[in-house]
Amino acid sequence: MKKRILIVDDVELNRVILAEIFKDVYEIIEACDGAEAIAVINGNTEIAAVLLDLIMPNVDGLGVLRDMNQTGKIKNIPVFLITAASSEEMLLEGYNLGAVDVITKPFLPHFLRCRITSVVELYEHRNNLESLVAQQLEKIERMNQSMVETLATIIEFRDCESGEHVKRIRGLTEKLMVEAGRLYPEYYMPPEEIEKIGIASVLHDVGKIAIPDMILNKPGRLTAEEFAVMKEHTTRGCEMLEQIPADVMDEGVYRYSYDICRHHHERWDGKGYPDGLKGDEIAIWAQAVSVADVYDALTSERVYKKAYEPKKAVSMIHNGECGTFNPRLLHIFDVVMGRDDAEKQDGE
């Protein structure tokens, strides 16, 4: 099937001449002004090139280029400007808007056909390459997520959990991060980064793989010596993450995973572990996972305790029964949990 090119010119004779030059190589689509061209471009994904007159009534060529920039079409469709005596200023603006070349009148058929065909082939090759790269990145991302979920499932089985724990942690962590960015601009992160943090949160307890079962699943209170071993899951988890090849895990997911794994038991007042960090020394994503982890632990039944009601769990977190947390993060947590008075608080 022939590739399609769009010829846009308000002078019919120019369209006829250009169509005659390209009819043996391309399927020709015509538009008599900028408005019609915009409609054709936005409604047709198979256009290989646009031959665009600059000076036209209603919407001129620059207007078409602006629309193509807004829709992103300019990245994948080469645009050639058709001109006889356009000003240097208009041509410069056309180039700045993404036009690749200028076609001057009168037209030189053979030269013009070779020039445009070469650029079309270049764009086609680039577009195919970008598509292939995007597919490979998507495949790697799926592999990363699958690997993370597999590791998390292993951890949950060892910890006598159902596997739903890490899913709840991820869901609450992502909600906390979204709300943090809404309430406090300094905490804002793009959606794609929040998604990586969510994936990383699943690995917060990966180091528990290295903790003996007799400690990990002990039904009673841990002794001081046993608790010291349990605390090692933060650093042991980081040691495991360091063994993952760089080409296997997304760099961003790795960085967040490392931070979260090591610091999700740090506390705002510096009384957490393993590094005794305090305040904003603890990354906000590790703080978010910390709150999510504590809340889910309180509201879930464990071998050593019954589940608390959500309202009681929230109260315990606020009262400092589970360590101290960032006051702003507690406000964010309240908003996410839907407390009636949450929006009235200052959050400081």
**Residue 258: which CATH number?**
1.10.3210.10
Structural domain harbouring 195:
134-344
Distance CA 6, CA 49 (A): 6
Helix (H) or strand (E) holding 4: strand 3-8
Residues 48, 190: one domain? no
Residue 40, in any domain of the structure: yes
Residue 208, in any domain of the structure: yes
Distance CA 177, CA 193 (A): 10
Residue after which a domain boundary falls, among 92, 107, 122:
107
Residues 149, 94: one domain? no
Residues 159, 238: one domain? yes
Residue 127, in any domain of the structure: no
Q: Which residues contact 150 (CB under 8 A, 6 or more apart)?
A: none
Residue after which a domain boundary falls, among 72, 107, 142:
107
Residue 172, in any domain of the structure: yes
Residues 247, 314: one domain? yes
Residues 205, 266: one domain? yes
Residue 116, in any domain of the structure: no
Number of domains in the chain: 2
Convert the pLDDT of each residue in 150-163 to its tens digit: 666 666 655 555 45
Residue 239, in any domain of the structure: yes
Residues 157, 100: one domain? no
Tell me what pLDDT residue 133 has.
67
Note if the pTM is more than 0.75. no
Residues 207, 280: one domain? yes
Sequence-ordered strand ranges (E) for 26-167: 26-31, 47-53, 79-83, 101-104
Convert the pLDDT of each residue in 78-130 to its tens digit: 999 988 766 788 888 999 999 998 888 777 888 888 888 888 888 887 777 77
The β-bridge partners of 53 are: 82
Residue after which a domain boundary falls, among 107, 124, 156:
107
Residues 81, 155: one domain? no
Residue 118, in any domain of the structure: no
Residue 194 has pLDDT above 90, yes or no: yes
Convert the pLDDT of each residue in 278-304 to its tens digit: 999 999 999 999 999 999 989 988 766
Residues 240, 323: one domain? yes
pLDDT category of residue 314 using cuts at 50, 70 and 90: very high
Q: Which among 83, 40, 35, 39 has a CA at the least distance from the CA of 63?
A: 35
What is the CATH number for 68? 3.40.50.2300
What's the whole-number mean pLDDT along residues 199-212?
Answer: 88
Tell me what pLDDT residue 146 has.
64
Residues 80, 147: one domain? no
Residues 17, 71: one domain? yes
Residue 12 has pLDDT above 80, yes or no: yes
Distance CA 52, CA 247 (A): 44
Residue 117, in any domain of the structure: no
Convert the pLDDT of each residue in 212-269 to its tens digit: 888 888 878 889 999 999 999 999 999 988 988 776 677 888 899 999 999 999 999 9
Residues 180, 292: one domain? yes
Q: Which among 238, 251, 244, 242 has a CA at the least distance from the CA of 209?
A: 238
Convert the pLDDT of each residue in 44-79 to its tens digit: 768 999 999 998 988 999 999 999 999 999 988 999
